[in-house]
Structure 1
Amino acid sequence: MFKPKTALEWSLLAVTSVQALVVTVCNIIILISYLHWVNPVVYQVPLSYNIPMCLTTSALGCIFQVFLTLDSFRIKNTVQLVALCIANVFLTIAIGLQYHTSKASVGRILINTDMYGFPFAQAEIPFWANSAPTLIVCIVVACVCTSAMVGLAYGLHIEFAWALYKNVSPDMKMRNRYLVYQIYLVLLRFTFLFAVLLILLFDLVEVHYREPEFSLTMGVIPLTLLHAIASAFCVQRETKLGMAVIITLQLALLAFLSRCLKQLLKIGFVQSVTMQNETVLFALVALFFAAATLVVAVLCVCNFGKGLRPILRAGVDVRRENGNAWYKAAMTKDEEEEERERGAKRDGRYYSLTSSCGGRSMGCRFELD
């Protein structure tokens, strides 16, 4: 895994790591208390999955943010920094919603029993009194970390923008094409994240093991992961046939997410949804990222054959040594020659000549209008 170098990179990693650590530890504590509080009969109803799934999705989202932060340092992606902040805002909202969902679920569990009158939970255990402060801590930490991430990302985008200029090309059109490619990769990552969070909530709480819908919906998770990997592979190699298949699958994902959202908002179904707010939030966010991914995928295909492929396949390895950045591009000879020709065309208006003066060689550079 890439190791951060600058103070800003270490600070951003520390913020996301603290958020993930605090939220995960607090959620584990609440989950352990929950398992001791409820009776086994509660697992007969979907209501029993509300609190565990709230805790699981928020912890997974925060942990995923840590890995995306490290990945941002590796690829020097300013777009991913912005997406990290936006995603953390949505995760903070979800963490806030889980407080109200948990409170409502506790009230329903306490008053319900099974068909034989056996209670769902042990009323003598003050579960909510012990868990509510912990949930509030998670909300406060998430809000503070989101604010800190925005400030740090603003400072880091200057460093990353300079790395993009040095790595790719001073040519504005080429940088714009590379920016579209970066946006596409970022959207793939966050589409996968929120699609997985949606499927976990929708399938385990709402569908609740009803076959064949449960198995078919769970099967979307590995398919979404394979789709993201194949998308990055095809766009990097500018494979038009592969991208045609990728775009078709992206349309299928959009149809699936739209179906989930439609079912969540359907009249008569809303009253039976036990975690409607969180599920609708993840559905809307996943649908937004999926739609944006489709649009940017088309833009990437439009940029095929315009000189970006050697840069994408270069495998630029950005490192720092004694405070100076050096770059290694693993290009083939043909791709290196193509890049050299582009540089010659870009700098064609400059000429260098050497003259002799006093027995010494002196290089002079003139700019021709």
Structure 2
Amino acid sequence: MAIEPLLATRAQRAFILTITVQAIVVLVMVAITFGMVRKDVNFDGDPRYRTLSCYLALFALAEIFELFMAFDALRLRNIIQLIGILAFHLAMMVFAALQVHQTRTALVNAQCDQDGILQSCGILISVWQRVQPFLIVAPCIIAASWFFMLFWIKKLYAEFGWAIFHVVGANPRMKTMYQYYQIMICLLKFDFFCFTGVTMQLLIVVLAKNDAEFGVTVAAIPVVLILLILCGIAVQREIKWIMSISLVLMLAALSYLVYKLVRFYQPGSREEYQTTRATLTVFTIVAFLLLFATFAVGLRCFSDFDQGLQSSKTQDVTPRKKYHPGTNGTNMAEYQLGYQGPPLGHRISIE
């Protein structure tokens, strides 16, 4: 058996092609929407209109992130990350659907709903009617591509089944520990996107530059990024003191997310979040759940330190030479060089 090179199989190429085509179509729909609104609406006149800028930026980030995660999952032969991409794709579909409502909220405000004969309201309603079809197409394309991705991931599941055996061997306990390690690394990557999504919405749509909370949010970006990187290094290299600090900081981050969620609905601050409250709430709840799961899995990985898994964590899953049985001892030596499971014993000849 051998692990195929990256993009060497039909399933791998089709999976990447599905994500790429979907990303191009959706980004074109979002860009058209942004351009049509920008043409008739002064974004600087009312901060509510900046929700369109945020929408475009978030979708561009999400599509690039998903494509990166897809290549990374194929490179690592990580089925768990592929399943995570499926969940992420569903979240993108929900976000795209929410944007239909939030764009209407930003363009057609309560005053226009009550008196649509005003000239400014007539322009805004006309803009909304033109961009609505493009906004509806985005979640439909994402939903259709999800089913294609599901089909190809089933193919990849069978294809990558040999990869973990190459890394950790046939020991069930080692296999379980390695799977928790994969889940932890995958969660850290999705934590990064969710945190970036929340802060991007806050910085573009909500917070004013002279607001103290704006400075705190900007300062939090490099801190959280460093935390996630250090946590990934700690769980891979089994550095206990860094892992301990990371777990404590995760608890602090969970408290901050709860605080922000309350702020979205407090009477004194709810107006600030009017045009982006729905997506901010979804992003914050998802970020909280992901971070809580990361903390729980992190505790499990911490308990697996010094159990003999570190060497398997630090080696890449790369294509190996195929083993062809034969009597030639060189063939056996080549196979052992390509095999990274438990040590193979010498063959004993009875001839």
**TM-score normalised by the chain length of structure 2:** 0.85
Query: Using the alignment, how far apart are the partners of 1:168 and 1:307 within structure 2?
Result: 10
- For residues 20 and 124 of structure 1, do their structure 2 counterparts lie closer, same or farther at Cα, with a shift above 3 Å needed? closer
Equivalences for residues 1-369 of structure 1 within 5 A? 3-39=6-42, 42-108=43-109, 111=112, 123=123, 126-267=126-267, 269-270=269-270, 272=272, 273-313=274-314, 315-319=315-319, 343=343, 353-355=348-350, 361=351
Question: Which region of structure 1 is more displaced relative to structure 2, 265-274 or 213-222?
Answer: 265-274
Query: Using the alignment, how far apart are the partners of 2:124 and 2:271 within structure 1?
Result: 30
- For residues 262 and 328 of structure 1, do their structure 2 counterparts lie closer, same or farther at Cα, with a shift above 3 Å needed? farther
The 3-state SS of whatever aligns with 1:161 is coil
- For residues 15 and 66 of structure 1, do their structure 2 counterparts lie closer, same or farther at Cα, with a shift above 3 Å needed? same
Query: Using the alignment, how far apart are the partners of 1:87 and 1:64 within structure 2?
Result: 10
Indicate if the aligned counterparts of 1:27 and 1:55 stay in contact, CA closer than 8 A: yes
- For residues 88 and 173 of structure 1, do their structure 2 counterparts lie closer, same or farther at Cα, with a shift above 3 Å needed? same
Aligned residues: 333
RMSD: 3.1
Query: Using the alignment, how far apart are the partners of 1:317 and 1:298 within structure 2?
Result: 25
**TM-score normalised by the chain length of structure 1:** 0.81
Q: Which residue of 2 aligns with 1:367?
A: none
TM-aligned CA deviation for residue 10 of structure 1: 1.0
- For residues 50 and 124 of structure 1, do their structure 2 counterparts lie closer, same or farther at Cα, with a shift above 3 Å needed? closer
Q: Which runs of 5+ in 2 are unaligned?
A: 114-118, 325-334
Query: Using the alignment, how far apart are the partners of 2:321 and 2:10 within structure 1?
Result: 15
Equivalent position amino acid for 1:294 in 2: F
> What is the identity percentage for the equivalent residue pairs of Structure 1 and Structure 2?
24
Query: Using the alignment, how far apart are the partners of 1:239 and 1:138 within structure 2?
Result: 44
Q: Which residue of 2 aligns with 1:364?
A: none
Indicate if the aligned counterparts of 1:38 and 1:120 stay in contact, CA closer than 8 A: no
Query: Using the alignment, how far apart are the partners of 2:52 and 2:121 within structure 1?
Result: 13
The 3-state SS of whatever aligns with 1:205 is helix
TM-aligned CA deviation for residue 124 of structure 1: 8.4
Q: Which residue of 2 aligns with 1:358?
A: none
Query: Using the alignment, how far apart are the partners of 1:278 and 1:125 within structure 2?
Result: 22
TM-aligned CA deviation for residue 267 of structure 1: 4.7
Larger Cα Rg: Structure 1 or Structure 2? 1
Indicate if the aligned counterparts of 1:192 and 1:225 stay in contact, CA closer than 8 A: yes
TM-aligned CA deviation for residue 16 of structure 1: 1.1
Higher strand proportion (structure 1 or 2): 1
- For residues 322 and 302 of structure 1, do their structure 2 counterparts lie closer, same or farther at Cα, with a shift above 3 Å needed? closer
Equivalent position amino acid for 2:69 in 1: L
Report which structure shows greater RCO (CA 8 Å, sep ≥6): 2
Indicate if the aligned counterparts of 1:49 and 1:205 stay in contact, CA closer than 8 A: yes
Equivalent position amino acid for 1:200 in 2: M
What CA deviation, in whole Å up to 9, does each residue of 1:1-48 have, x standing for no partner?
Answer: x94221111111111111211111222222222222113xx5243212
TM-aligned CA deviation for residue 295 of structure 1: 0.8
- For residues 198 and 327 of structure 1, do their structure 2 counterparts lie closer, same or farther at Cα, with a shift above 3 Å needed? farther
What CA deviation, in whole Å up to 9, does each residue of 1:215-253 have, x standing for no partner?
Answer: 211222222222221111111111101111111221222
Query: Using the alignment, how far apart are the partners of 1:311 and 1:156 within structure 2?
Result: 22
